[in-house]
Amino acid sequence: MRSGMMPLVLVHGSGHTHESFDAQAAAISSADAVSLPGHPEGQALTSVGDCAEWLAKYLRWKGSDKAIVGGNSLGGAIALEFALRYPERTAGLVLLGTGAKLRVSAAIFSKIDDEWPDCIDTFAEWSLAPSAPAELRTRLKEWHLTVGQATTRQDYSNCNVFDVMDRAGTIKAKTLIIVGALDQMTPPKYSQYLRDTIAGSELHVIEGAGHVAHAEKPDIVNGLIRNAFGAELA
């Protein structure tokens, strides 16, 4: 990353790794895609709050006083919690397919408990638009297999109890919200709530994309990030 550039740290969703943000890391010089503990190295953390604290320590270790913080689904929840705990360190937010509350269907836990790893095919279907390339479907399945059953379940458990609906309105950081029009996991209404709650935020709905719009339509998403946060992210 060039001197003077603002770091853009990106956090993946449940059962994924930093590789879900490969397209952003390759195209945006200041982007730093991270893998949470347990994905697969180390021990999975047991709350969104713990993940936000881990991220704060990670940024200190990287020597970053402030950063644009972003994430997909669980990663977006972590970004929101980070912004609430560390407003002075939050230069901006990029929220992708996430929400202020992420209640998880009991069917997801049942599938993880009783149908692993066969359920990964179902998760891929729920996560991707029908037009998503076969290569991306394969990659998404590989992320889940790499992360494993226990950590994937913990990720969804962390999402299930996450709720900042009563606090999200206090966020002052510049906020970019992106969601796939075909997102089945966190439908666009979740992002619309964030848009209505975070003052000055902007929402973009990506046609033809599902839950991982950043991987399905990377050129569009990268352009939106650059437009929102300027040339220093080029």
Q: Which residues contact 51 (CB under 8 A, 6 or more apart)?
A: 11, 36, 45, 74, 78, 81, 158
Q: Are 234 and 17 in contact (CB under 8 A)?
A: no
Which contiguous run of DSSP H or E holds residue 234?
Answer: none
Q: Which residues pair with 205 in a beta bridge?
A: 179
* Pairing of the two strands 67-72 and 8-11: parallel
Q: What is the pLDDT of residue 232?
A: 66
Helix, strand and coil content of the chain, in percent to the nearest 5, comes to 50, 15, 35
Give per-residue burial for 163-200: e unless 16+ CB within 10 Å, then b. ebeeebeebebbbbbbbbebbebbbbebbebbbebbee
Task: Give this prediction's pTM.
Answer: 0.97
Q: What is the CA radius of gyration of the chain?
A: 16
**Residue range 101-154, pLDDT digits in tens:** 999 999 999 999 999 999 999 999 999 999 999 999 999 999 999 999 999 999
**Residue range 95-106, pLDDT digits in tens:** 999 999 999 999
Q: What is the pLDDT of residue 5?
A: 80
Q: What is the pLDDT of residue 233?
A: 75
- Whether the per-residue pLDDT at 19 is higher than 90: the answer is yes
| Distance (Å, whole) CA 134 – CA 142 | 13
Domains of the chain and CATH, by start: 8-233 (3.40.50.1820)
| Distance (Å, whole) CA 23 – CA 45 | 26
Cross-sheet strand order for the sheet of 8-11 = 31-34, 8-11, 67-72, 90-96, 175-180, 202-206
Q: Are 74 and 181 in contact (CB under 8 A)?
A: no
Question: What single DSSP character describes residue 132?
Answer: S
- Whether the per-residue pLDDT at 174 is higher than 90: the answer is yes
| Distance (Å, whole) CA 206 – CA 129 | 11
Q: What is the pLDDT of residue 114?
A: 98
| Distance (Å, whole) CA 110 – CA 197 | 33
Q: What is the pLDDT of residue 107?
A: 97
Amino acid at 181: A
